């Protein structure tokens, strides 16, 4: 990337330098061959025209012998043909020079474009080569990592196998020792206490007798029955509360429906009343319009005032 950036900067500097040289050459050409005094219409705007002015004619045809001051007409000068030929030659030279400069500029531009294209192709080839190298390096790294992980997995599996074998041997030895000891053989004599037959050694005691177990089972059975009874009572109480809640919800729903019916009837009555009032207002307005149309203005106001009183 740094190499690509460096090459791009070099190309940009070269392009700027070429543009600068072209502008300088154009300016030099204009200053050398396109001066103001060489223009065709310069004689119309020459600030020294009066100083340079000479008698209109110094040849056989003197300007002092003109008629009404018209000493000379267009196309009647003595050097007309030479001047026209010189101007045509000068225009032809200018045109040829501009063509040559245009061809040179086009050739330089094509050369720059070809160089730019070649450089871009080189950049693309370099980038492709670097990408291939990166891909090969990545594949090599992945392969080495894969081999390392595989060796680590094999070593871990072998180590776990050895640890499992050792653990199984240790467990087998421990089980053998426990089976032949008093702990798992449940020897009741080892729990006898020296303080009396009703006391036992806690760390050697192997359990209660059959009678003690029966007593505990009986107590547990009683506790289970008591718990079932309490659960049944709680269930009945929940059913009662649910029944009451459903009845209250039903009553609330009926009350809301009744209110909705009352509001609907009230709205219908109000709409009917509004319709009848609107109809009466339309009839009254129609009557007033007919009276206002059929009677004069003074009689109408007299009748309206009398009716108002």
Residue 77 pLDDT grade (very low, low, confident, very high; cuts 50, 70, 90): low
CB burial of residue 118 (10 Å; 0-12, 13-18, 19+):
exposed
Given a cut of 50, whether residue 308 has pLDDT beyond it is no
Q: What is the pLDDT of residue 63?
A: 61
More confident call, 147 vs 37: 147
User: Which pLDDT tens digit goes with each residue over 180-235?
Assistant: 766 666 666 666 677 776 777 777 666 777 787 888 899 999 999 999 999 999 99
Strand-pair category, 196-200 with 192-193: antiparallel
- pLDDT bracket for residue 286 (50, 70, 90): confident
Distance CA 183, CA 190 (A): 9
The pLDDT of residue 84 is: 85
- Pull the structure tokens for residue 181: 């000891």
Q: What is the dihedral of CA 206, 210, 212, 213, to 10 degrees?
A: 90
* Residue 309, pLDDT above cutoff 50: no
Q: Give the span between the Cα atoms of 154 and 159, in whole angstroms.
A: 9
Burial tier of 297 (Cβ tally within 10 Å: 0-12, 13-18, 19+): exposed
Reported pTM: 0.25
Least confident segment among 32-46, 142-156, 159-173, 251-265? 32-46
Q: For a pLDDT cut of 90, what percent of the chain falls above it?
A: 26
């Amino acid at each position: 990337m740094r190499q690509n950036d460096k090459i791009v900067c070099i190309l940009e500097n070269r392009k700027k330098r070429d543009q600068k040289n072209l502008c300088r050459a154009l300016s030099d050409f204009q200053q050398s061959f396109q001066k103001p005094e060489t223009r065709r219409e310069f004689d119309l705007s020459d600030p020294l025209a009066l100083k340079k002015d000479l008698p209109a004619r110094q040849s056989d045809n003197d300007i002092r012998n003109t008629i009404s001051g018209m000493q000379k007409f267009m196309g009647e000068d003595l050097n007309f043909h030479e001047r026209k030929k010189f101007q045509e030659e000068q225009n032809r030279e200018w045109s040829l020079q501009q063509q040559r400069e245009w061809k040179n500029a086009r050739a330089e531009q094509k050369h720059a474009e070809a160089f730019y294209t070649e450089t871009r192709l080189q950049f693309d080839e370099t980038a492709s080569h670097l990408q291939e190298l990166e891909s090969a390096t990545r594949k090599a790294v992945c392969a080495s990592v894969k081999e390392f992980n595989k060796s680590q997995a094999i070593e871990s599996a072998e180590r776990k196998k050895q640890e499992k074998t050792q653990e199984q041997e240790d467990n087998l030895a421990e089980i053998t020792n426990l089976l032949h000891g008093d702990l798992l053989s449940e020897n009741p004599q080892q729990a006898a206490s020296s303080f009396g037959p009703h006391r036992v050694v806690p760390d050697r005691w192997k359990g209660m007798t059959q009678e003690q177990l029966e007593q505990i089972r009986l107590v547990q059975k009683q506790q289970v029955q008591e718990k079932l009874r309490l659960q049944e009572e709680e269930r009945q109480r929940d059913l009662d509360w649910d029944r009451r809640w459903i009845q209250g919800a039903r009553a609330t729903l009926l009350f809301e429906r009744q209110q909705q019916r009352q509001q609907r009837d009230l709205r219908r009555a109000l709409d009917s009343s509004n319709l009848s009032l609107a109809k009466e207002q339309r009839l009254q307005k129609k009557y007033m319009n007919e009276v206002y149309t059929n009677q004069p203005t003074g009689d109408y106001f007299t009748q309206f005032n009398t009716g108002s009183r």
